Amino acid sequence: MSYEHILYDVEDQILTITLNRPDNLNAFTRIMRDELIDAFDKADNDDDVRAIIITGAGRAFCAGADLGKGAETFDYKARGEVNDGEVHRDGGGRVTLRMYQSKKPIIGAINGPAVGIGATMTLPMDIRLASEKARIGFVFSRRGIVMEACSSWFLPRLVGISQAAEWVYSGRIFPADEAKEGGLVKAVYPEDELLPAARSLAKELVADSAPVSVALCRQMMWRMLGADHPMEAHKIDSRGIQMMGKSPDVAEGITSFLEKRPAKFTMRPSADMPDYYPWWEEPEFK
């Protein structure tokens, strides 16, 4: 797929996805939705991609949904996209669910305003960094709409129910420092330092780590957020230790440590995930 509304650049095993509608403050469109999903499919199948950074072109990260259809923006029946009795799948949710499934760690570099889907699409990212110029808003109550992009699941888990409730009920736009204080972003940087900081962090995440180990650990942590007992984690931990324990990557990781040399991991997320993955598709985990 060729991309119209995003840029896709890989350098030093780091993929940078740039939302690329700067004249429209990178407002979210169906084209952007489909391109983001395709980009994550492509990244998961490319073993040269070890980490992903998402940022925006120009002065905004993403100003939310494109409101070009006016009052019919979210009226899918009026727009001829759904018939009576059908349920329209939220486009933002399709994107965040695809991010949730990613085998590669995701860093958000929020360079400017991030509102609506511009804020909620950052929630399944593993680490969020922000520019001092970032402004974030979960503005649904001010548009008469409801939370989207699975944010009612993600946001309270990330920042706690009280902080999530304050931001969502008021719908107000808040500065980067407040996002950091509330636990939404890890750090705030001057505008020109944001992307270098994101790249430095991405390099740190992948420099000495085994790609399959990272992919498994990412899924283990995200999926255990919804578990109702630590025994669910114990079940998956135990399977992972047993199956990965006999793998070439573990043999290399231990041998390289004992020999005091850098490890050379050979297992690939595109082809060498263990047999129990994806465990959540098994009947007992549904």
Checking if the pLDDT of 76 tops 80, the result is: no
- Could you count the other beta carbons within 10 Å of the beta carbon of residue 234? 11
Q: Is the pLDDT of residue 220 over 90?
A: yes
- The structural domains of the chain, ordered by start, are 6-206 (3.90.226.10), 211-285 (1.10.12.10)
CA distance 88 to 82: 6
Closest C-alpha among 222, 101, 61, 215 to residue 153: 222
Give the rounded percent of residues in the chain with a pLDDT score beyond 90: 86
Q: For residue 131, give the nearest of 63, 204, 61 by alpha carbon.
A: 61
Note the pLDDT of residue 130.
98
For the cut 90, the answer to whether the pLDDT of residue 286 exceeds it is no
